[in-house]
Amino acid sequence: RHLMARNGYAPLYSDFDSFYTRRLKLRINDCFDRPTTGVPGRYITLLDRETDDNLHFRLKGTTTDTLNLSSYNYLGFAQSEGPCADFAEETVRRDGISMTGTIGDAATTSLHVEVERQIARFVGKEDAVVFSMGFVTNATTFPAIVGKGCLILSDELNHASIRFGARMSGASIQVFAHNSMTDLEKKLRDAISQGQPRTHRPWKKIVVTVEGLYSMEGTMVNLPRIMELKKRYRFYLFVDEAHSIGAVGPRGRGVCDYFKIDPAEVDILMGTFTKSFGANGGYIAADKAIIDKIRCTNAGQIYGEAPTPPVLAQILSSVRLIADEDPLHSGEGQERLQRLVFNSRYLRLGLKRLGFIVYGHDDSPIIPVMLYNPAKMPAFSHEMLKRKISVVVVTYPATPLELSRARLCISASHTKQDLDRFLVACDEVGEALQIKFSSGVAGGL
Ligand code: PMP
């Protein structure tokens, strides 16, 4: 339809326009692709809208008190009240909203330095550096640590920010099958031997890149096995803990905590503040020498805006709570972590008992409920919204088209009653849409 713009070139939006699945996506996600208002906490308020033939929104009203199974609010820190919100408010009154400058240009506050120290201590590394966006953390860190002549071995389901950063670095990239240690080992063996004597290293650096908890699958990285391979093949390891930090492990300190692995053995621990901490931004934690290099050479650090004071306040206070370093709220972090584990296991088991196919690790707060057929996505989303439940449905390009799913995010802020309400709704909708694959646990799930 739009082969040529008036200037004779293809229009700037041409690829999007020809990409019918993305166009379709604008129509299918009834709970989302729509504005919300208020805190995305246990409940969320969605703004109702109509779409005209050109897919333009018109606001009609609001759906308040919608049970929220859509946000990455694992520990329930997306709140407008409580100690974190109070500290963020106090900080805005004292320090304002924006640093109006880059980190090197008078925009490093004492709070900034304190957050970096706190994060390093929390994840068990020597030093840490924070960024104002999680995506930028990955996108700009790979070019700072690897380049031409280096090899990145990347899990096929790694987040777009990792893939983006890896490509920007100029390093060679090989992708291994998701969480497949056999494929990873094969690729390592090929990369290292390549007909060379054992002592020869054909690559300047080899970096294996994985996520702690995969956001579309709910799978957890096989860290113990990767550590064994690391001993044998001596690569560097980069773990993106966006979804695992604050969400897994008995102390909420991510996959090292979960698998009882010393974080000193992992070269780079990356994480974001947008999920468990209810804030914004990302971090890299590593040995001091690596962090020094990143501070000086990472474009996101040098040219990007510093994280803002209220965001830093939210990070600091939520980490203190998780680490049980806030004497006024002793035990609250542990309570949240335990509720998250209970809620995640309870809902996952409940769905299996009802006969749904769910993906992922038993302790994952991300629970993908398989719909398979993308045509069922709009109805699932719509029917849930009718019952005042907000869920995200996902398809291509985030997953293969035939593996479309509803992706539930569990929070410590959910009550057992909330989860029971969802299970009843899911049972009804699953029955009506023929999404259930057996009549329940009696069938042997
Ligand atoms: N890494 C992973 C694994 C992610 O899932 C995300 C975003 N969901 C990011 C990085 C980027 O983080 P942010 O949204 O905080 O920019």
Is the model more confident about 442 or about 63? Answer: 63
Domain limits, the chain: 14-68+333-443, 83-327
The pLDDT value recorded for residue 443 is 37
pLDDT in tens, 290-319: 999 999 999 999 999 899 999 999 999 999
Residue 124 pLDDT greater than 50, yes or no: yes
The pLDDT value recorded for residue 258 is 98
Q: How far apart are CA 227 and CA 338, in angstroms?
A: 27
The pLDDT value recorded for residue 38 is 84
Give distance in angstroms: CA of 407 to centre of ligand 1: 16
Residue in 71, 159, 210, 394 to alter for ligand 1 test, most ligand atoms within 8 A of Cβ = 159
Interior/surface letters 251-267, b for 16+ CB within 10 angstroms, e for the rest: ebbbbbbbbebebeebb
Question: Does the model's pTM come out above 0.90?
Answer: yes
Q: Which atom of ligand 1 is nearest to the CA of 272?
A: 15
Q: How far apart are CA 424 and CA 68, in angstroms?
A: 15
The pLDDT value recorded for residue 4 is 82
Give distance in angstroms: CA of 134 to centre of ligand 1: 5
Residue 252 pLDDT greater than 70, yes or no: yes
Write down the CATH number for the domain with range 83-327: 3.40.640.10
Q: Which atom of ligand 1 is nearest to the CA of 133?
A: 16
Tell me what the mean pLDDT of segment 260-272 comes to: 98
Give distance in angstroms: CA of 69 to centre of ligand 1: 18
The pLDDT value recorded for residue 228 is 98
Fold assignment, 14-68+333-443: Aspartate Aminotransferase, domain 1 (3.90.1150)
Give distance in angstroms: CA of 197 to centre of ligand 1: 40
Q: Which atom of ligand 1 is nearest to the CA of 214?
A: 3
Q: Which atom of ligand 1 is nearest to the CA of 274?
A: 15
Tell me what the mean pLDDT of segment 253-269 comes to: 98
Average model confidence (pLDDT) for the chain? Answer: 90
First CA to last CA distance, the chain = 49
The pLDDT value recorded for residue 444 is 38
Is the model more confident about 137 or about 441? Answer: 137
Residue 23 pLDDT greater than 70, yes or no: no
Confidence of residue 423 (pLDDT cuts 50, 70, 90): very high
ipTM above 0.95, yes or no: yes
Residue 14 pLDDT greater than 50, yes or no: yes
Residue 12 pLDDT greater than 90, yes or no: no
Pocket of ligand 1 (CB under 6 A): 133-135, 138, 159, 161, 211, 215, 240, 242-243, 272, 274, 282
Residue in 74, 245, 274, 392 to alter for ligand 1 test, most ligand atoms within 8 A of Cβ = 274
The pLDDT value recorded for residue 442 is 41
DSSP string across 228-249: HHHHHH--EEEEE-TTTBTTSS
Beta strands at 366-372 and 236-240: parallel, antiparallel or unpaired: unpaired
pLDDT in tens, 52-82: 666 666 677 777 789 999 999 999 999 999 9
The pLDDT value recorded for residue 445 is 37
Residue 106 pLDDT greater than 80, yes or no: no
Q: Which atom of ligand 1 is nearest to the CA of 275?
A: 15
pLDDT in tens, 325-355: 999 999 999 999 999 999 999 999 999 999 9
Q: How far apart are CA 204 and CA 147, in angstroms?
A: 9
Give distance in angstroms: CA of 272 to centre of ligand 1: 6
